[in-house]
Amino acid sequence: VAVTGRTGKRAPRQADIARLAGVSQATVSVVLGGRQSVRLSATTRQRVLDAADELGYQPDPVATRLASARNNMLGLYTFTATFPTDVAHSYYPILVGIEEQAAALGQDLVLFTGASGGGSRARDEAAIRRTRIADGCLFLGRHVPVGPIGRLMESAFPLVFIGRRDELDGRIPHVGADYVAASAAVVGQLVGLGHRRIRYLRERDDALPSTDRERGVLRGAADAGLPVDDMVVHVGPGESCDELVATWRTEGVTAVVVEETDTGAAFTALTRALERAGLSCPDDLSLAVLGTPPSSGPVPSPVTGFEVPRREMGRRAVELLVELVTADPAVDLPVRQELLACAPRAGGTVGPAG
Amino acid sequence: VAVTGRTGKRAPRQADIARLAGVSQATVSVVLGGRQSVRLSATTRQRVLDAADELGYQPDPVATRLASARNNMLGLYTFTATFPTDVAHSYYPILVGIEEQAAALGQDLVLFTGASGGGSRARDEAAIRRTRIADGCLFLGRHVPVGPIGRLMESAFPLVFIGRRDELDGRIPHVGADYVAASAAVVGQLVGLGHRRIRYLRERDDALPSTDRERGVLRGAADAGLPVDDMVVHVGPGESCDELVATWRTEGVTAVVVEETDTGAAFTALTRALERAGLSCPDDLSLAVLGTPPSSGPVPSPVTGFEVPRREMGRRAVELLVELVTADPAVDLPVRQELLACAPRAGGTVGPAG
DNA sequence: CTGAAAGCGCTTACAG
DNA sequence: CTGAAAGCGCTTACAG
């Protein structure tokens, strides 16, 4: 009844193989599926294999998936454009890691672009629901639409977030970076060099990567017995840091730690202000950045701080997702959540306290 | 009989809506599919819509696809890793364009990583066959496996190559760059500045982007009445250009045009040799490059030449592919092949002939 | 105007 | 050891 939809030669199906080999279509499925649970005579098996080979058979992944088997496709859902034009430096290494590991594990990747439209709630819901076409899905973005994601998790659809998440009672599987430890270590390093008056500059946007870094900084300061009350300073989008820098000079601040985000706004604002004030690092002020700045601009490169292991995060997320996908659905796995260490970057912008 | 395969709450199906609205599942399909060919009473339609809304229905993309409708998924098959670590500069803008346009047209993207394995013929065949999971597929790479691609085309599977192709009797749909015209224009520019002794340096690997550039260079030279016999010079991978540069000096060569490829090998070899020889551009020698070099290295930036419109190629390829996918299969479209113009880049490495 | 049926190409219990 | 049947969740002619 249904129409082929296209002219041209049809791709061979299991039914074609069955006809050629003189067996039933179900037998073909068993042979090609490589299921040992069912035992077939070697000759039957070989006849099927030969017929499949002769016809150049390739299974239809859509049908395979609908029949509840696996697809070998992993989804990647980004809450913004997957290939950002201006923040390529941030996502790209993650994508490289994802593709690398997906290829290694024989998984194709579905990029769900639905989110890019910046759509309504209903569109988001539909877009997220659509990830089901894959065996499982990776999610990447600063914020989580808890409704749709919760429903996906309820239905036991395998998913892994890239970046730590604490929504949904902390049950969201993820691979993140240990910003807390890395940030605390940066402060520890400064303290070790004799710095006592340290400021932490961050953007206003509250997302976990930001609050984790702040927690780390405060922990590092507290561990060293430093006063913490006036340590954290915010800078809004588009704001200048000129006044802040001037204030710090009068306060005797010797080191500044700055947040690094996708946009790099805080870092850029700070380095511009330092340049305008004619201050150089580390001579006039020690500077550390909690991540990898897009380019150090006026400040000597590399800037002291740490590396976010983006590529490894991508790779590891794929590994975890494949584990979830291939796991026996009967057994309940513990929620998979991992934080990867951030390697320190020595850099040249930190020196002993004056 | 079949098992759900997963624990957890099932997502609502059309059958659930039908039960709730008191209609048949097929009617639900008609309503939600928005088909005007079938006319339904407004009340029935509304009841179905309400029920769908109440259940939070989202169609199963896999089932939709299997039932021979469209999928809104476009494939992207690269004959190497999709996200190259070292040649990111070359593919990335294409990917950006692809994603941009795919998102604009509501298409998801399937990245087929099968090729990355560097597999056998059979693996290639399987990997390429697998692209059928999408409504159509984009192909990206220097070489074409004509067998599998030919079979795909025979079956009327919509596909578009990025980059000009002349295989399969020139019937492969593609979006390329007009290297011939752009390369001829570069030579024309040099001639206009009085250069008569010009050399063209290229790599040995023969692919269409290389031969098109060479054709353009030779055409530009021929149009200007320049002798063409000793114009083209090859450099192998890893070879130095030191001797070439020395020879050119004795031959009175005043301008060199160099090929630009993914690896940038020829350009890099040449600029290193120029540096070692202590030659500067454009004072000692005019230099033009047929593309956008990864970074100009020792040579002043930007280098005179042209821009490959990679992002536009990606965008346009998606547009063409969607046209093919949505075309009425009954009517035969002409083979879609387009060459995009390369914008000239003035640069600062070309001057009047000494 | 609406519903029952067949089919997309597979997998998987189940019956011989 | 092998085959017939049901089912995955849809779409689409076709019959009422």
Residues of B in contact with A78 (CB under 8 A): none
One-letter amino acid of A152? L
Q: Give CA–CA dist A312/B328, Å, rounded.
A: 45
Range with the poorest average pLDDT among A40-44, A78-82, B53-57, B209-213: A78-82
Q: Give CA–CA dist B259/B236, Å, rounded.
A: 13
User: How many Å does it take to go from CA A131 to C1' C9?
Assistant: 21
Q: Would you give the distance in Å from CA A268 to the centre of its chain?
A: 24
Q: Give CA–CA dist B36/A197, Å, rounded.
A: 71
pLDDT for res B77: 92
- For residue B20, the number of C-alpha atoms closer than 13 Å in the C-beta half-sphere is 20
User: Mutating which of A54, A57, A110 best tests the B interface, going by the most B Cβ atoms within 10 A?
Assistant: A110
Q: Considering only CA atoms, which residue is closest to the C1' of nucleotide D12?
A: A2
User: How many Å does it take to go from CA A226 to C1' D10?
Assistant: 64
CB contact under 8 A, B99 and A108: no
Structure tokens at A326: 């291939």
Q: Which positions in strand D are less than 7 Å from the protein's CB atoms?
A: 1-14
Q: Considering only CA atoms, which residue is closest to the C1' of nucleotide D3?
A: A24
Separation in Å, CA of A252 to nearest CA in chain B: 42
Residue A335 gets which letter from DSSP? P
One-letter amino acid of A314? G
pLDDT for res B132: 80
B42 touches strand C (CB under 7 A): no
Asked if residue A296 has pLDDT above 70, the reply is no
Asked if residue A1 has pLDDT above 50, the reply is no
User: How many Å does it take to go from CA B31 to C1' C6?
Assistant: 20
Sign of CA dihedral A7, A10, A11, A15: positive
Rounded to an integer, the average pLDDT of A125-139 is 85
Range with the poorest average pLDDT among A161-170, A248-257, B30-39, B91-100: B30-39
Give which of B140, B134, B131, B86 is closest to B262, Cα–Cα.
B86
Asked if A6 reaches chain B (Cβ–Cβ under 8 Å), the answer is yes
Q: Give CA–CA dist A126/A112, Å, rounded.
A: 11
Contact criterion met (CB below 8 Å) for A272 and A243: no
Q: Which positions in strand C are less than 7 Å from the protein's CB atoms?
A: 1-14
- Taking only the tens place, the pLDDT of each residue in B84-126 is 655 456 788 898 899 999 989 988 898 887 665 556 666 777 7
Structure tokens at B220: 């530009």
Contact criterion met (CB below 8 Å) for A353 and A283: no
Is the bond leading into A302 cis (omega within 30 degrees of zero)?
yes
Which element (helix H / strand E) includes A257?
strand A255-259
Q: Specify the length of chain A in residues.
A: 354
pLDDT category at A144 given cuts 50, 70, 90 is confident
CB contact under 8 A, A108 and B114: yes
What does the pLDDT profile of chain B (354 residues) look like in tens digits? 233 334 456 778 888 888 888 888 888 888 887 666 556 778 888 888 888 888 888 787 778 878 866 778 899 998 876 666 554 567 888 988 999 999 899 888 988 876 655 566 667 777 887 888 788 999 998 778 888 898 888 878 899 999 999 999 999 999 999 999 999 999 999 999 999 999 999 999 888 899 999 999 999 999 999 999 999 999 988 899 999 999 999 999 999 999 998 778 899 999 999 999 999 999 999 999 999 887 667 777 789 999 999 999 999 999 999 999 888 766 777 899 999 999 999 989 999 987
Q: Give CA–CA dist A39/A22, Å, rounded.
A: 17
pLDDT for res A2: 31
pLDDT category at A329 given cuts 50, 70, 90 is low
Percent of chain A topping pLDDT 70: 89
Sign of CA dihedral B204, B244, B290, B300: positive
Sign of CA dihedral B14, B15, B20, B22: positive
Rounded to an integer, the average pLDDT of A197-225 is 94
∠ Cα B78 B79 B83 (to 5°): 50
Give which of A136, A141, A166, A140 is closest to A153, Cα–Cα.
A136
Rounded to an integer, the average pLDDT of A287-300 is 82
Task: State whether residue A344 is helix, strand or coil.
Answer: strand
Residues β-bridged to residue B174: B161, B337
3-state secondary structure labels for all residues of chain B: CCCCCCCCCCCCCHHHHHHHHCCCHHHHHHHHHCCCCCCCCHHHHHHHHHHHHHHCCCCCHHHHHHCCCCCCEEEEEECCCCCCCCCHHHHHHHHHHHHHHHHHCCCEEEEECHHHHCCCHHHHHHHHHHHHHCCEEEEECCCCCHHHHHHHHHCCCCEEEECCCCHHHHCCCEEEECHHHHHHHHHHHHHHCCCCCEEEEEECCCCHHHHHHHHHHHHHHHHCCCCCCCCEEEECCCCCCHHHHHHHHHHCCCEEEEECCCCCHHHHHHHHHHHHCCCCCCCCCEEEEECCCCCCCCCCCCCEEECCCHHHHHHHHHHHHHHHHHCCCCCCCCCCEEEECCCEECCCCCCCCC
Q: Would you give the distance in Å from CA B43 to the centre of its chain?
A: 49
Structure tokens at B190: 């040099």
User: How many Å does it take to go from CA A337 to C1' C8?
Assistant: 39
Q: Give CA–CA dist B160/B174, Å, rounded.
A: 5
Concatenate the DSSP letters of all residues of A149-210 into one string. HHHHHHTT--EEEES---HHHHT--EEEE-HHHHHHHHHHHHHHTT--SEEEEEES---HHH
Strands A198-203 and A159-162: unpaired
Q: Give CA–CA dist A333/A47, Å, rounded.
A: 41
Give which of A138, A127, A135 is closest to A94, Cα–Cα.
A138
B265-276 and B242-251 helices, crossing angle to 10°: 70
CB contact under 8 A, A329 and B7: yes
B25-33 and B42-55 helices, crossing angle to 10°: 90
Could you tell me which residues come within 8 angstroms of residue A145 by beta carbon, excluding any fewer than 6 positions away?
Answer: A79, A124, A125, A128
Structure tokens at B5: 């395969």
Give which of A262, A258, A321, A252 is closest to A284, Cα–Cα.
A252
pLDDT for res B1: 28
Tell the residue number behind the tokens 């150089």, with chain if given: A280
Which of 43-82 (B) contact A at CB < 8 A?
56, 58, 60-63, 65-68, 71, 73, 81-82
Separation in Å, CA of A238 to nearest CA in chain B: 27
Find the Cα–Cα–Cα–Cα dihedral B198, B204, B210, B211, rounded to 10°: 80
Q: Would you give the distance in Å from CA B314 to the centre of its chain?
A: 6
pLDDT for res B128: 83
What pTM was computed for the model? 0.85
- Rg (Cα) of chain A, in Å, rounded? 27
pLDDT for res B232: 96
Q: Give CA–CA dist A165/A156, Å, rounded.
A: 18
CB contact under 8 A, A60 and B132: yes
Give which of B348, B183, B350 is closest to B254, Cα–Cα.
B350
Burial of B211 (0-12, 13-18, 19+ CB in 10 A): middle
